[in-house]
Chains A and B, each alone.
Chain A
Amino acid sequence: MSTLEIKDLFVSIETDQGTKQILKGVSLTINTGETHAIMGPNGSGKSTLASTIAGHPRYTVDSGSITLDGEDVLAMSVDRRARAGLFLAMQYPVEVPGVTMTNFLRTAKTALDGTAPSLRHWTKDVKEAMTQLRIDADFAQRNVNEGFSGGEKKRVEILQLELFKPRFAILDETDSGLDVDALKVVAEGVNREHSKGNMGTMLITHYTRILRYIKPDFVHVFIDGRIAEEGGSELADRLEDEGYDRFAVQDQTTAGA
């Protein structure tokens, strides 16, 4: 079993208007086999948390720690983090010019495993995973994300999740921009991987609808760079009914005090 532990994390970014504090003391522990939903309104810092874990250079960690089985994640380069077993399914996957999906997937798999996958098995694995996620075979020959629709990009992120088999998967709004059918397909992909029992999942979402397909063990509500409330999956149901307004009010009160 593995543990990803985030302790009292403060993160800021540089903007034209100066330094902006985004995460203001986030603590969270995820174990293998657990699914944690992170919910919160726009701009509350969800993607910042995800990108900071993955090591995006835009974000500065001012204090706090992230460890993976006790190892300092913040000291690792972006690629080392991935090789250590962290996977970020991005909210806005970028288009990478010049690199076909086939080439990209094989290069990444080789980097992650330290050895090239056996070509025969690998081709079969890729084909199968693509079929299950209902990704057309011709996507293999296209450049990474180039000209893919929003929904296609998300499916390709989950394709990578299934092929790379990370220890911890961070899914940043993988549900947004998906119609109901695509949402089901994507959720099935995540559940398939999760059910193997070797992965912990951090599921970032704005809406509760994906939680009908992926059952969280824990729900954390993010407000203004902090976790404002935590609970089990019943908390998601309450958010479904009440929205985030309750927290917004609370937040203003504390701010004014």
Chain B
Amino acid sequence: MAETTQIDTSEKARIGAPADQEKVAIDGFTEEGENLSPFNAGSEQHGLKKHSHGDAPVIPEASRGERLKSYKLADFAPLTGREEDWRFTPLKRLRGLHDQPLTGTGPEVRVSGASNIRVETVDRTDARVGTASIPEDRVAAAAWEAFTEATVVTIPAETEADCEVTIAITGTDETPAAQHLIIHAEKFSKAVVVLDHQGKTTLAQNVEMIIDDGAQLTVVSVQEWDDDAVHASSQQARIGRDARFKHVVVSLGGDLVRLTPSSRFTAPGSEVEMYGLYFADAGQHLEQRLLVDHAVPNCKSRVTYKGALQGQDAHTVWVGDVLIRKEAEGTDTYETNRNLLLTDGTRSDSVPNLEIETGLIEGAGHASATGRFDDEHLFYLMARGIDEKTARRLVVRGFLNEVIQQIKVPVLEERLTEAVERELAAGNL
């Protein structure tokens, strides 16, 4: 069955607006676009609890493109939890990232791998600081004001990194801290960069990614923190002309991990792929809020996020904002989020938002589905001789593999496959 749904509209339309705002109805769309997916339809037969929105009243915003951006913490009001972009986040568990000074030293940063790239430590006056990012929320702004040094990784022009670059980010203490990283892919360069987060931490992080004309950059951000880590990370990419950018999020470990990756097109002819994989265990909060900003013509974006949840109060959030501005004629975009609930007591929020300000586009669509692995699935597989443990693993592995395969760094793929196996084993599945 075809899963793609294309919208073709000549009027400004907004799908998935906050619940208390007027919605523009488009045939075949619900707020979550969930009726688009056969996966979802199938699972609803088995009494699926639909993914829900936050319970608190929400402060609406007119358009995603008009959200406040500022380098100054004072410009952002203290958080109440009712803000559109914080309504799913348990602020109490941020461990002070939103209301305490970020005085810690933060995790150690160590860059290894390719030999033909440049690694520098610079202070905040460096000209490259602020070229790709402007904080869009209070925690990112707090991190911006607090960091003293930034690590800059540069892939020189017309250079292909001779192997993947690993930026190991290893935490050892829980004092709230700020961190700043810049990854700069110069013209016609090519590289794979892995951000490998491990250890203990309470971290507010800004990652700037600059993709110059004709460059091809893949950034994989792996969150394999210790169980009690808290991590808020704004990862913003500024994409030049005819460039290729691939961003992969893998969130497995940590008490609260909240990533806000964004891709901004600044010149035509570029393509972005954003993938995500998350696996939440009992009590974990894993959140990802994306933005793809089509501000120029003839760019293409694909977003695919998949999450598995198991255990009491495992909570995941996926919000996918795609903005197609008036100038962005010829845009081609599709975003999808799928979640698999492996046990009771889990909660998965999934909200695709598509804002379209021009009708002259190639295509735009979204899908969001939350399915449940239930007794009927288990019975079917077991009735074919497959034991219970193998049956559950078969389902989860199959589900998450689509994203793991995208990483294309064999060592890392292997490591993540093993990590997923460990998650499964830990949940007694």
Contact = CB atoms under 8 A, between A and B. Distances in A.
A153 B39 CA distance: 15
Contacts of A99: 381, 394-395, 398
A56 B379 contact: yes
B381 A97 contact: no
A111 B42 contact: no
B395 A82 contact: no
Contacts, number: 92
Contacts of B29: none
B377 A55 contact: no
Contacts of B396: 98
Contacts of B386: 79, 107-108, 111
Contacts of B380: 90, 93-94, 96, 144
Interface stretch (B180-188, B189-197, B368-376): B368-376
B123 interface: no
A146 interface: yes
A112 B386 CA distance: 8
B328 interface: no
B395 to A, nearest CB: 5
A182 to B, nearest CB: 18
A107 B371 CA distance: 22
B401 to A, nearest CB: 8
A57 B388 CA distance: 13
Q: Which of B1, B385, B390, B400 has the most CB of A within 10 A?
A: B385
Contacts of A111: 384-387, 390
Nearest to A149: B1
Interface in B361-419: 371, 373, 375-377, 379-388, 390, 394-400
Contacts of A98: 340, 394-400
Contacts of A147: 1, 38
Contacts of B397: 98
A96 B373 CA distance: 8
Contact of B385 (A57, A95, A108, A144): A108
B43 A97 contact: yes
A29 interface: no
Contact of A146 (B42, B379, B383, B394): B42
A98 B381 CA distance: 12
B381 A96 contact: yes
A141 to B, nearest CB: 12
A112 B39 contact: no
A156 B396 CA distance: 22
A88 B42 CA distance: 21
A24 interface: no
A132 interface: no
B388 A79 contact: yes
Contacts of B39: 95, 97, 146
A95 B1 CA distance: 13
Contacts of A78: 379, 382-383
Contacts of B381: 96, 99, 104, 108
B382 A77 contact: yes
Q: Which of B340, B373, B382, B383 has the most CB of A within 10 A?
A: B383
A164 B384 contact: yes
A100 B398 contact: yes
A24 B340 CA distance: 39
Nearest to B377: A96
Contact of A112 (B379, B385, B390): B385
A83 interface: yes
A143 B371 CA distance: 14
B375 A57 contact: yes
Contacts of A88: 383
Contacts of A103: 394, 398
A160 B385 CA distance: 12
A138 B134 CA distance: 46
Interface in A145-161: 146-147, 160
A4 to B, nearest CB: 16
Nearest to A55: B383
A54 interface: yes
30 contacts: A54-B383, A57-B375, A57-B379, A77-B387, A79-B385, A79-B387, A94-B42, A94-B376, A94-B380, A95-B39, A96-B380, A97-B39, A97-B340, A98-B394, A98-B395, A98-B396, A98-B397, A98-B400, A99-B394, A99-B395, A104-B381, A104-B384, A108-B381, A108-B385, A108-B386, A111-B387, A111-B390, A143-B398, A144-B380, A146-B38
Given A93-B380, A96-B381, 17 more contacts: A54-B383, A77-B382, A79-B382, A79-B387, A94-B376, A95-B39, A96-B395, A97-B377, A97-B395, A97-B399, A98-B397, A98-B399, A107-B386, A107-B394, A108-B386, A112-B384, A146-B42
Interface of B: 1, 38-39, 42-43, 340, 371, 373, 375-377, 379-388, 390, 394-400
A-B residue pairs, 6 tightest by C-beta:
A98-B399, A147-B1, A98-B398, A82-B385, A108-B384, A111-B385
